[in-house]
Amino acid sequence: MADLSVNLCGIDFKNPVIPASGVFGYGREYEEFYNLSELGGIATKGTTAQKRTGNLSPRIAETPSGMLNSVGLQNPGIDHFIAQELPYLLTKDTVILANIAGSTPEECAEVAEKLDSTQVHMIELNISCPNVKQGGAAFGTSCAMAEQVVSAVRKATSKPLVVKLSPNVTSITEIAKAVESAGADAVSLINTLLGMRIDIHSRRPVLRNNVGGLSGAAIFPVAVRMVWQTANAVKIPVIGMGGVNSGEDAIELMMAGASAVQVGMAVFTDPYAPVRIVREINEFLDEKQIPAVRDVIGTVQPW
C-alpha cells in the first residue's frame, strides 16, 4: 500500500480525501455506512454567527452531469455547532475543517474568534457569500473585498486558515494572491459556478432563487484549470475540488497542483464515494509503482 498521507499547514492528514462543506452535514448520517476515521478530513457544513433557515424551496435541481443549488447556508449557528456538533466530530480521528461564512467581515471574524478557543484543526472561510456592506457582491469577486474579509478573520484566529475561492471571477490567480497576502495559509477551490435553468412549461426558473451554484462532473475541467493556475501563482497549499467522482479525478487535480481534494456532489449518488476514492487513489499509485501520493502533486508537464 502506498503512503497516502499529506501535510497541509502543519496538519497531518492520513489521506488527501475530504468530503466538501455542505454535502456531508456533520458526518452523522454517513457514519452509518463507514467509519469516519477512514477519511483524511471533513469540511463541515457552512456555519454563520446566527442560525439560518436558508432559502425557500425549490432550492435543488438536477442538471446534465451536475446539480444546481441555492440552499442558502442553512445552519444552526456557531454556538450550536461548538456545543453540539464539534465535540462529536473531534472524536472521529480525522482532521476537522470548520467551514464558516458571513454577510460582513465582522460576522466572519466573530465566528472565527469563537472557534479559536476550540480544538478544531482548521478553519475554511467561504468568501463566495454576498457582502451586504458592498451592495451584495460576493467577497471573493474582488481583490479588495477578499483581502478585507480575510484580514479580519486572520486577526481573529491563530488556527490554520483555508480560504475557499469563488470561480465566478475574471482572474482566479489575482484573488488567490490577494488572500495569500492577507494571511491565508491555504486556498480551496473551486466553489460552485453560477448557473440557471428554466422550466419551459411554466416559464419559471427551476430554483426559487432564480440562479444557483452548479456543481458536479460538469465543472471538473474548470476546476482542473483553476487549480493548476492557482498552484502556479501562490506559495501556499491548494485544496482542489469541483466534480471529483473517482480516484483518477483526485489524482488529476493533485497533478495540477492540489495537495488534497474535496469530494462534493458525488456523495449524493454514492455515499461511499469518499472512501472509494481513497481506495482508488491507492490502487492507481500501486499500479504505477508510486510510493507516496505526495509524489504526484504538481507533476503535470504542460506542452
The catalytic site residues sit at 129
Torsion angle (degrees, nearest 10) of CA 56, 58, 60, 63: -150
Backbone angles phi, psi at 34, to 5 degrees: -160, 165
- CA quadruple 207, 208, 210, 213: dihedral positive or negative? negative
CA distances from 241 to 100, 154, 284 (A): 17, 23, 19
Closest CA to 223 of 266, 180, 286, 268: 266
Contacts of 109 (CB under 8 A, 6+ apart): 152, 153, 155, 156
First to last CA, the chain: 32
Contact indicator for 102, 111 with CB cutoff of 8 Å? yes
Cα 57 off chain centre by: 24
266 φψ region: left (φ > 0), alpha (ψ -120 to 50), beta (else): alpha
Whole-number Å distance between alpha carbons of 151 and 137: 18
- CA quadruple 111, 106, 169, 213: dihedral positive or negative? positive
